[in-house]
Amino acid sequence: MELYYNIVFFIFGTIFGSFFNVVGDRLPEGKSIVYPPSHCTFCGHYLKPYELIPLFSYLFLGGKCKECKHKLSMQYFFYELFTGILFMLCFMVFGWSLRLLLALTFVSLLMIVIISDINYYIIPDEIIIIGLILFPIEIVFIYGIKQMLFSLLYGVMSFLTMYLIKKMGDFIFKKESMGGGDIKLMALFGIVLGYPLSVVVIFFAAILGLPISLIILLNKKTHEIPFGPFLSIAAIVLFLLQINFNEIVHFITL
């Protein structure tokens, strides 16, 4: 039965991943996420139901538009697969609990952040606002009002920490070192992960991003590397590992 639920969550994850592709691609440009329906961005062909099946449609069509045969980006397949895996991992870690709802919300919003920031170097304010509304409400139901108030405080502290890091970076490099979206994103990490674990995300993201950034810089002329995806992946990993910062400190000081 456990395997059955894992498969179910994976399937639902791929379905939501397909939707997140649309949201992450349209929201930064101010487009409607419901109209027009899914279509080929090259020839305008509206996709039929069998062309919208997550993962399988991409493979069945050979990664090309059915009408114009233009090669489609593999990002659609990858994001669907990645979201499916994350949904499944959320269930495997938290099971049927209220924390599962928090995990799925966290993963969902960060997947949109990843897609949007990679494609447009933008972290939509709408996603930040939704998180600022949903996370405190969910935390109240899971941990109570007292913990929710602490979570909001951690969110403010995380925001201010990232803001100070940005100011230091601006001073050192004599230019804009970080986008405003990254700073706002830290507020969500503080609410969900707490403080100072949210700060650990920054250093973890830097470690993840360094080799990938070097590869991109060597193969592209652009010097702009979105940091939001690295922050998001680092936050998801730490959240799913259920790392307790106090336990880490205790272990180190033994």
Nearest to 92 by CA among 7, 197, 12: 7
Write out pLDDT tens, residues 116-126. 999 899 999 99
Is the model's pTM score more than 0.85?
A: yes
For 254, residues 6+ apart whose C-beta sits below 8 A from its C-beta are none
Cα–Cα distance measured from residue 21 to residue 114, given in angstroms and rounded to the nearest whole number: 10
Return the pLDDT at 250: 41
Write out pLDDT tens, residues 158-168. 999 999 988 88
**3-state per-residue secondary structure call for 184-214:** HHHHHHHHHHCCCHHHHHHHHHHHHHHHHHH
174 or 92, which is more confident: 92
Contact 10/87 with Cβ under 8 angstroms?
A: yes
Contact 86/236 with Cβ under 8 angstroms?
A: yes
Write out pLDDT tens, residues 88-107. 999 999 999 999 999 999 99
Residue 40 clears pLDDT 70, i.e. is over it: no
pLDDT band at 252 (very low <50, low <70, confident <90, very high): very low
pLDDT band at 185 (very low <50, low <70, confident <90, very high): very high
Contact 30/105 with Cβ under 8 angstroms?
A: no
Let me know how many helices (H) and strands (E) the chain has, helices first: 10, 0
Contacts 24+ apart (CB under 8 A), 83-86: 83/13, 83/14, 83/16, 83/17, 83/20, 83/107, 83/108, 83/111, 84/10, 84/11, 84/12, 84/13, 84/14, 84/17, 84/54, 84/55, 85/10, 85/13, 86/13, 86/111, 86/236
Q: How does DSSP classify residue 64?
A: B
